[in-house]
Amino acid sequence: MKCSEFLNELTNYLDGALDARTKSELDNHLAWCHNCYVVCDTTRKTIEIYHNSELYELPDDLRARLESAIMSKCCAHKKSEPPTS
Amino acid sequence: MSTIQPNIEQPVSEEMALVRRAKRGDDQAFEELVRRYDRNVFRIAQHITQNREDAEDVVQEAFLKAYSNLEKFQEQSKFYTWLVRIAVNEALMKLRRRKPERTVSLDEEVKTEDDSLPREVADWSPNPEQMYNQGELREILTRTIQGLPAGFRTVFVLRDVEGLSTEETAQALELSIPAVKSRLLRARLQLRERLNRFFQKRASGDGDQ
Ligand SMILES: [Zn+2]
């Protein structure tokens, strides 16, 4: 297996979306290719760090404001367009 | 042989039960859906628009659209996936309005420098979390993901930040599964490469900042 072939499967590998045979081929490649090992490891860390980053959390006060704005707009919409039954 | 009639109806998820109540005009049920997903929609919207006011607008518009189009929701996907689809479209419209000079499209193949083979391969040790304080790390992560083309950023956010499955991401973005996978791979590799510039520099201690 070449490094480029490894990289093409990297996303499937990290997502656990490979059949057993392909996975073991990739495991073998990782066992001897240090570069791919590092790329795989740091890509995994990239995903984890973003997954846990909480970059854009919605503050409670803004959340409360948005929720009441949404519900009052929905009510206004309902009144303007009564449901046809 | 059992005489019991097989239960033909699929068990209804809690989410779908709320949706059905909302469809019958129960606004409390809809409000529960809002509370369940508003944080997610806000995160997705802010990642795409990169603007807090736009993200607030997207949250409101997406839920209002969902509310007024609820009867058109066919229940063939999760409500959340359908909602994300609405929110992504709203967010992309905002982005186009703000950055009209750049074409922002998910269908278009995003052209970037050749990123198939990573250039720098160096370990990240100690871990980035140990190298930077929280504020610095947030700054790095924010700037780095903002530098990705919108098409890559959106796929990465849905799949890796929000944790949608590949299939759900494809549904939400109206892309094929192979298209999602190829964008995701390139997004992940590009982010890794960009982060590497920070994390490697600090770790090697050459101090050229
Ligand atoms: Zn290799």
Q: Give the pLDDT confidence of B70-82 residue by residue, as tens digits.
A: 999 999 999 999 9
Q: How far is CA B53 from CA B86, B91, B95, in A?
A: 18, 11, 12
Residue A40 lies in a domain: yes
| CA angle (B58, B143, B148) in 5-degree steps | 70
Tell me the pTM: 0.86
The per-residue pLDDT for B207 is 43
The model's pLDDT over B109-150, given as tens digits with 9 standing for 90+, comes to: 444 445 556 766 788 877 888 888 889 999 999 999 999 999
Residue B30 lies in a domain: yes
| Alpha carbon distance A33, A31 (integer Å) | 6
- The 10 Å Cβ neighbour count of residue B62 is 26
The per-residue pLDDT for B34 is 98
Residue A85 lies in a domain: no
Closest CA to B154 of B100, B89, B198: B89
C-beta of residue B38 within 8 angstroms of C-beta of residue A66 = yes
Q: What is the mean pLDDT of residues A18-24?
A: 95
Q: What is the mean pLDDT of residues A4-9?
A: 92
Q: Is the peptide bond preceding residue B126 cis, with omega within 30 degrees of 0?
A: yes
Residue B115 lies in a domain: no
| Alpha carbon distance A8, B203 (integer Å) | 28
Comparison of pLDDT for B208 and B68, the residue scoring more: B68
Check which CATH number belongs to the domain holding B69 and give it: 1.10.1740.10
Q: Which of B30, B39, B63 to mutate to test the interface with A (most CBs of A within 10 A)?
A: B63
Inform me whether the pLDDT recorded for B206 exceeds 50. no
- Taking the centre of ligand 1 as the mean of its atom positions, its distance from the CA of residue B47, in whole angstroms, is 32
Distance from CA of A85 to the nearest CA of B (A): 10
Check which CATH number belongs to the domain holding A76 and give it: 1.10.10
Residue B192 lies in a domain: yes
Percent of chain B with pLDDT over 90: 67
Burial of B183 (0-12, 13-18, 19+ CB in 10 A): buried
Sign of CA dihedral B125, A51, B115, A40: positive
The per-residue pLDDT for A82 is 63
For chain B, the domain total comes to 2
pLDDT band for position B100 (50/70/90)?
Answer: low
For chain A, the domain total comes to 1
Averaged pLDDT of chain A: 91
Of B129, B138, B188, the CB nearest to A47: B188
Residue B191 lies in a domain: yes
The model's pLDDT over B41-64, given as tens digits with 9 standing for 90+, comes to: 999 999 999 999 999 999 999 999
| Alpha carbon distance A58, B114 (integer Å) | 36
Q: Which of B44, B134, B136, B188 to mutate to test the interface with A (most CBs of A within 10 A)?
A: B188
Residue B152 lies in a domain: yes
In terms of residue numbers, what domain contains A16? 3-80
The model's pLDDT over B122-131, given as tens digits with 9 standing for 90+, comes to: 888 778 888 8
Residue B75 lies in a domain: yes
In terms of residue numbers, what domain contains B62? 14-98
Of B64, B128, B156, the CB nearest to A49: B128
Check which CATH number belongs to the domain holding B143 and give it: 1.10.10.10
- Let me know whether B26 and B78 are in one domain: yes
Nearest CA in chain B to A12: B181
> Which tokens go with B71?
């009867």
Q: What is the mean pLDDT of residues B175-196?
A: 94
Chain Cα centroid distance, residue B156: 6
B121 and A70 within 8 Å at the Cβ level: the answer is: no
Residue A54 lies in a domain: yes
Residues of B in contact with A4 (CB under 8 A): 116-117
Burial of B152 (0-12, 13-18, 19+ CB in 10 A): buried
